[in-house]
Amino acid sequence: MRHQSIALIGGSGFIGTHLANALVAAGKTVRVATRKRSHAAHLTLLPLDVIELDVFDSVELARFVEGMDAVVNLVGTLHSRRGDPYGPEFAKLHVELPSKIAAACEGKGVHRLVQMSAINADSNGPSMYLRSRADGEKAVLAAAQLATTIFRSSVVFGPEDRFLNTFAALARLFPVLPLARPDARFQPIYVGDVARAIVGTLDLDAAHGRIYELGGPAVYTLEALVRMCGEMIGRRPRIVRLPDALAYMQALTFEALPGEPLITRDNLDSMTRDAVMSGPLAPELNLEPVAIEAIVPTYLNDASLRSRFSVFRTTAGR
């Protein structure tokens, strides 16, 4: 079945923006949900529809997906208050929302659903984040009428990322960086490759009911990534490797500060498992992932002074 009209939930964010562009380039008809139209202002030059709605309102959500061939859910958060098995923000965004989306799709006859998740998603995992991601996967896979595909990605990089850009900004500001979990391993994947994987599987019958891991061509420790960011911008801050006890104290301090924290205790718990694929990329994804070294210098080196601090302004304003 060819899926021509695609509804994006979370489409105004980092991954969503790149996916919207890729879908438009592929000739798809795209509809983007946003809580406030101003959040999607950067998409208004594209030939797509931006719909302002409350995605947690079942009536509004059903109206949004009605008549669409496929729905892609990209909504996620890295932070939540504490809770068991996870906090309220994780419960709402990672579990409740996918359940509502699946119900809306089934109710309106939408056949195809793509759900973004994370490598190491596990209902018995070490962090609230990973447990909630896994329970969100279960919620959409339980919808018998849907052809569902789940993507579990490692950390995603690209011009607007909050991962490498944050480390580069810190390296510009401070000569010494205390680093928690320096040996945690990641397999970063370019945001454009994530978008290509999603677009390429929308019409692929073999992808129905599948869970795909996404990662780039190389694995790095967190310390190696931080050093790489420093070298790319011509700064080499001294990295202080924090033992676990100090790392948790650092995270607890950030959690107590106003705004979105740079790191939380739950982030540290997630990093006890390496964000690395369990095997090679699935051949049907037809991906040759781009290396960090080919992309990251183009946006870390060319960033204006204003953009260098945007990660902090965005975090403080949420």
Alpha-helix residue ranges (DSSP H) falling in 150-210? 164-173, 191-201
Return the pLDDT at 20: 97
Confidence check: pLDDT of 312 > 50? no
Confidence check: pLDDT of 138 > 80? yes
Residue 42 domain-assigned? Answer: yes
Nearest one of 219, 218, 200, 220 to 210, comparing CA atoms: 200
Residue 268 domain-assigned? Answer: no
Which residues lie below 8 Å from residue 260, measured CB to CB, with a gap of 6+? 79, 315, 316, 318
Residue 230 domain-assigned? Answer: no
Residue 63 domain-assigned? Answer: yes
pLDDT tens-digit series, residues 184-238: 999 999 999 999 999 999 999 999 999 999 999 999 999 999 999 999 999 999 9
Residue 239 domain-assigned? Answer: no
Handedness of CA 201, 202, 203, 208 (dihedral sign): positive
Return the pLDDT at 309: 40
Q: By residue range, what is the domain housing residue 195?
A: 5-155+190-214+276-289
Total domain count, the chain = 1
Residue 304 domain-assigned? Answer: no
pLDDT tens-digit series, residues 286-304: 999 999 999 999 999 764 4
List the CATH number of the domain containing 95. 3.40.50.720
Residue 243 domain-assigned? Answer: no
pLDDT tens-digit series, residues 257-267: 999 999 999 99
Residue 74 domain-assigned? Answer: yes
